[in-house]
Amino acid sequence: MIPVLVAATAALGQSPAPRVFPKITAANLSGKSFAMPGAFEGDLNVVLIAFERDQQKDLDTWLAVLPQLLAPFPKVGYYELPTIAKLNGMTRWFIDTGMRSGIKDKAQRDRTITLFIDKKPFKESLGIDSEKTVYAMLLDHAGNVLWRVDGTADAGKTAALKAALEKATK
C-alpha cells in the first residue's frame, strides 16, 4: 500500500507503462449517463474504485478527506466507481436501487457511477491486480492516470495526492 506517483518503477530504473482510464459508458445513481473518461466534469478528477460491497468503509475514508483536500483545487472533481461484473438489466436496476436508497445525499448520488463491465480489460488498462482493496486515482481530462494508490486514506496518501494535485495544476 505504497503511494504510486508513477515513481515506483522509475526508482527501479524502469519506465512505467502509461495507464489510461478506458472508454466506458455508465450512469450515476441519479440516472445521468457518462461517457468516460471525457464526461468526468473536472479538468482533473479523483476516482475511487471499489469492487466489493464491504469496501464502502474504505471508500468512506477517502470521502471524509476529499472535500477539504480538494477545496484549493476548484477544477478538480471526484467520483465513486463501484465496479461490478456485467449483469442483466433487472439485476443492475436492483443493485443501483439499493445503493440509491442507502445514499440520501444528492451530490453523492451524482458522483457515484456504477460500472457494470467486463472487469478484466478495465483492470488491465489501469494496472489493477487485486479486487481485495480500493484504489484512488488522479486522472487528467483525457483519462491519463497521473497518480494512484490502493487502500484506505491516511496522512501519507493524502499528502501524496495533494503533491500530485499541486504538480498537475501548475
pLDDT in tens, 104-161: 666 766 888 989 889 999 999 999 999 999 999 999 999 999 999 999 999 999 999 9
For residues 115 and 81, is the Cβ–Cβ distance under 8 A?
A: yes
Residue 49: Cβ within 10 Å count: 25
User: What pLDDT shows up at residue 53?
Assistant: 83
User: What pLDDT shows up at residue 102?
Assistant: 59
The reported pTM is 0.83
Output 4 or 79, whichever has higher pLDDT. Answer: 79
User: What pLDDT shows up at residue 86?
Assistant: 62
Distance CA 140, CA 155 (A): 23
CA-CA distances (angstroms) from residue 158 to 12, 49, 85, 94, 163?
A: 24, 16, 29, 34, 9
Cell of 22: 478506458
Q: Is the peptide bond before 121 cis (omega within 30 degrees of 0)?
A: no
**Looking at the predicted structure, is the pLDDT value of residue 50 above 90?**
yes
User: What pLDDT shows up at residue 126?
Assistant: 95
Q: What is the mean pLDDT of the chain?
A: 83
CATH superfamily of 8-168: Glutaredoxin (3.40.30.10)
Q: Where are the domains of the chain?
A: 8-168
Distance CA 15, CA 72 (A): 31
